[in-house]
Amino acid sequence: MNRIQQLFQNKKENILNIYFTAGFPKLHDTENIILALEKGGVDLIEIGMPYSDPLADGPTIQQSGDVALANGMTLELLFQQIVAVRRKRKFP
């Protein structure tokens, strides 16, 4: 059973899910943001990978994605950041 399945099996209501854009506001903030969200009591984190044409995301996510891309965020870097955090935490 994966971490998300375990969360929904153990906590069936009032799950706090937070989204943020990888590479925003700075390129290497991903780990710090995840750790701060965990400390703040978030149950589940959705990490958005910025891309060049986010038409359906709305202006706030579009803007954060533009900044993240300008910062140099790539899918490879995001996966490296996630691997580093997952070595320290068991958080979905």
pLDDT of residue 54: 66
* pLDDT tens figures, 52-65: 776 677 889 889 99
Of the candidates 13, 31, 43, 57, the residue annotated as catalytic is 57
- pLDDT tens per residue, range 9-23: 887 788 899 999 999
Name the residue with tokens 């068991």: 90
Catalytic residue among 46, 53, 66, 76: 46
Place of tokens 């589940």: 44
What is the per-residue pLDDT across 68-79, written as a single tens digit (0 to 9) for each? 999 999 999 999
31 catalytic residue (yes or no): no
pTM of the full predicted structure? 0.84
> What are the C-alpha distances in Å from 7 to residues 11, 24, 37, 43, 87?
6, 27, 16, 8, 19
Selected residue with higher pLDDT from 90 and 28: 28
- What pLDDT is recorded for position 67? 95
**If 0-12 CB within 10 Å is exposed, 13-18 middle and 19+ buried, where does residue 63 land?**
middle
Q: Is 13 a catalytic residue?
A: no
